[in-house]
Amino acid sequence: MFKGSLPALVTPFKNGQLDIETLKKLVDWHIDQGSHGLVPVGTTGESPTLTHDEHDLVVETVVKQAAGRVPVIAGAGSNNTDETVRLVQAAKKAGADAALVVTPYYNKPTQAGLIAHFTAAADVGLPIVIYNIPGRSSVDMTVDTMATMAKHPHIIGVKDATGDLSRVPKQRLSCGKDFVQLSGEDATALGFNVHGGVGCISVTANIAPKLCAEMQEATLSGDYDKALEITDKLMPLHIAVFKEPGLISAKYGLAKLGLAEEDVRLPHVGLTDGAKAEMDEAMRFAGLIN
C-alpha cells in the first residue's frame, strides 16, 4: 500500500488561518498528478504551529477528500508519548491508513526509551511508520532497535532521513523484506530505491508531483535510465527547495503555480529574494513554469 511518491503536504493558510478549501483542492491535484499517497501534518505541514484541533481537522479533511483513492499517512509525532498516543488515536478515528511517528526530539531518549515510546504508539492499533531523522531529533534509532520494533505487528516501516544509504540494506536484512522503507530525502530518493527502498515521503513533490511520481514508478519498474533522466531534471529543484526551510520553498512554488498562498506561520517567514530566484530557475529547468 505504501510506496512511490508520497508528498509531505504543506498546510495552506490564508491570512494566518487554515485554508481548508485550498487543502481539498491540493489533495485532488496531487491525486490527479499521480501521487501514490499523501502525508499531512508532518513538519512540512507546519505541525509544530498547529493547535490540536487544527491538526485533527487537517487529517480529517485529507482523509475525507482522498476518499480511499490513495493511502493517507497522518503525521502523529511528538516528544511527549501521551500526546503521540492521542495523535495516533485521532488519526485512527479519522480513518487514516497509517501514522508517521517521529523519534522524540530534544529530550534524547535511550534506545530502550524509543522502544517504549513506539510500542505505546503502535499499541493503538494503527499501522505506524517510524520517522528516523537524527539531524533534527538529536536521537538515532539504531538498526538493531528498528529490528526489535519491526516485530510489533503494527510497526510496518520507516521514513529514513539519516542520509545513509547503507541503512537501507542493513534494515532490509534486519527487519525483513516486507518492512516498508521510504526515503526522507528527495535528492537521494533514486539511490534509496536502488538499495531496496520503495518510495519517498517528498517535499519536492508538493511542487512537482507528476515528475516525482514518474521517477518513483521508473525505479520501481527497474527503468533506471528514465529514473536518471527525471532525477537530473529535478535535482536543481531538490537543491533549491532546501536552500531555506523546505516548507517555505514548497509554499512559494505552489504560489508560483497559482495553487496556494505563500503564508507560513512564525517562527518561519517568507523566502529571501535570492532563494526565490533560485526556485524560479529550478522550476523553469524542471518545466514547471515558463
DSSP letter (8 states) at residue 99: E
User: For this structure, is 159 an active site residue?
Assistant: yes
Above pLDDT 90, what percent of the chain? 99
Task: Indicate whether 214 pLDDT > 90.
Answer: yes
- Predicted pLDDT at 153: 98
In the prediction, which pLDDT does 1 show? 87
- The one catalytic residue among 14, 24, 108, 159: 159
Locate the domains of the chain by residue range: 4-221
Query: Of the residues 14, 25, 64, 131, which is catalytic?
Result: 131
Average pLDDT, the chain: 97
pLDDT higher than threshold 90 for residue 99: yes
Could you report the per-residue pLDDT of 252-278, keeping only the tens digit for each? 999 999 999 999 999 999 999 999 999
What local confidence, expressed as pLDDT, does residue 95 receive? Answer: 98
pLDDT score for 182: 98
Q: Quote the longest CA-to-CA distance of the chain.
A: 52
**Phi and psi based region of residue 4 (left: phi greater than 0; alpha: psi -120 to 50; beta: remaining):** left
Sign of the alpha-carbon dihedral angle for 78, 84, 86, 88 = positive
What is the reported pTM?
A: 0.97
Helix axes 224-241, 209-220, angle to 10 degrees: 140
131 labelled catalytic: yes
Cβ atoms of 76 and 89 within 8 Å: the answer is: no
pLDDT mean over 218-231:
97
pLDDT digits 0-9 by tens, 115-174: 999 999 999 999 999 999 999 999 999 999 999 999 999 999 999 999 999 999 999 999
- How confident is the model at residue 68, as a pLDDT? 98
Q: What is the pLDDT of residues 75-84, one digit of tens each?
A: 998 999 999 9
The CATH architecture annotation of domain 4-221 reads Alpha-Beta Barrel (3.20)
Q: What is the DSSP string of 135-186?
A: HHHS----HHHHHHHTTSTTEEEEEE-S--TTHHHHHHHHH-TTSEEEES-G
